[in-house]
Amino acid sequence: MENNIGKTERLIREINRIHAQYSQDYFETGKVEKVNLSHTLRKVPLAHILNYRLVLHEAINDYLAFADVRGIDFFYRVKTAESIHDKIRRYSERDNQYPVNNILNDIFGARVILPSADVAAILQRLDDWKTEYGLKNWYLRDVDDYIGIHVYFKNASNFYYPWELQIWDEQDAAANIRSHQLYKRGFVG
């Protein structure tokens, strides 16, 4: 029987594969203008961002239906247009401007919640998985009562929006959800 570490590696492999396939299907048909996402928000049209989000929202389940994710308990979402607008507003107010592929690196986001021992074992393997699967990067985020590992999928293209996988320790899940409610949903109400 496959353990949580094996399941998480399989989830990373499948998200990476789906990201590559969806990005090729979306951007490499000639139907959509390719924009270099290493530019700042001023050079990337909002319509480009929101169209990508809308099509992804409509298509993601078709891609996941053929993914090897059976037996893996994970959650996913496509960021809402409201959340994208809020994130763009917050980053636009900063003095330092960042590349769009660093700001909107989670239009697709997935999350897996695991026991502490499994999270510790995954931390030991992430550098190898980054190399093996060509991941953009990963880091441990520990800020504002939130602790989680963030893994980013980009498939070596500045024309593809990155996707994110968060790996949470089950002991941090309740605090992480409260933190998200406080800091990530300010656009509601």
What's 170's DSSP letter? G
- Residue 185, pLDDT score: 57
Q: Count of CB atoms within 10 A of residue 86's CB? A: 17
Q: Residue 144: left (phi > 0), alpha (psi -120 to 50), or beta?
A: left
| Residue 188 domain flag | no
pLDDT per position in the chain (189 positions), as tens?
A: 899 999 999 999 999 999 999 999 999 999 999 999 999 999 999 999 999 999 999 999 999 999 999 999 999 999 999 999 999 999 999 989 999 999 999 999 999 999 999 999 999 999 999 999 999 999 999 998 899 999 999 988 999 999 999 999 999 999 999 988 877 655 454
- Residue 186, pLDDT score: 55
| Residue 20 domain flag | yes
- Residue 182, pLDDT score: 78
- Residue 126, pLDDT score: 97
The DSSP annotation for 16-62 comes to HHHHHHHHHHHHTTSSS----TTS-GGGS-HHHHHHHHHHHHHHHHH
Prediction pTM value? 0.93
Number of separate domains in the chain: 1
Rounded alpha-carbon distances, angstroms, from residue 86 to 63, 78, 123, 183 = 28, 15, 31, 11
Rounded alpha-carbon distances, angstroms, from residue 145 to 70, 103, 141, 177, 187 = 32, 21, 10, 10, 20
| Residue 189 domain flag | no
- Residue 122, pLDDT score: 98
State how far the Cα of 165 lies from the Cα of 148, in Å rounded to an integer: 10
| Residue 49 domain flag | yes
Domain of 48 in residue numbering reads as 4-183
Residue ranges of alpha helices (H) inside 65-169 are 81-92, 100-103, 116-133
Whether residue 24 contacts residue 58, with contact meaning beta carbons closer than 8 Å, is answered with no
| Residue 120 domain flag | yes
